[in-house]
Amino acid sequence: MPEVTRRTLLAFTAVVSFVEPTFAEGEGASPELQALIGAHEVAYDALHRVFHRAGSSSHDRKRAGWIEEEALLAICSYPAVSRGDRRAKAEYLLATEARGELDLEEHMQAILHAMMRG
């Protein structure tokens, strides 16, 4: 078995320090995107509670709908640069679209503009 020399150890350390950030970047979504997704989930749940609550006014339903819409647009507009962000954003938006919720022209425009910024 070859002996580990100082030169080999330094070369290995240099490779690890170069490769590790790229690997870590692909691990998961950034805290910013996680916060946007969390905010949309809360807004989406609140929207359903308002719509199904007896006695909710049309004003309450419109306001809850607007808040949910803004939260979803924030995700669509987010410029996902890292691999983890791109994957998390795509997975979340695909699940949202499967429920029929990603249906406005503004959603697609926001996604495309975010791709140009990223």
pLDDT top residue among 11 and 37: 37
Torsions phi, psi for 33 (to 5 deg): -70, -40
Q: What pLDDT shows up at residue 4?
A: 44
Torsions phi, psi for 107 (to 5 deg): -60, -50
Q: What pLDDT shows up at residue 26?
A: 47
Q: Where are the alpha helices (DSSP H) in 26-104?
A: 31-52, 58-77, 83-98
Q: What pLDDT shows up at residue 117?
A: 85
* 26-84 tens-digit pLDDT: 468 999 999 999 999 999 999 999 999 999 999 999 999 999 999 999 999 999 999 99
Average pLDDT over residues 5-17: 46
Rounded Cα distance between 100 and 13, Å, is 49
- pTM for the full predicted model: 0.74
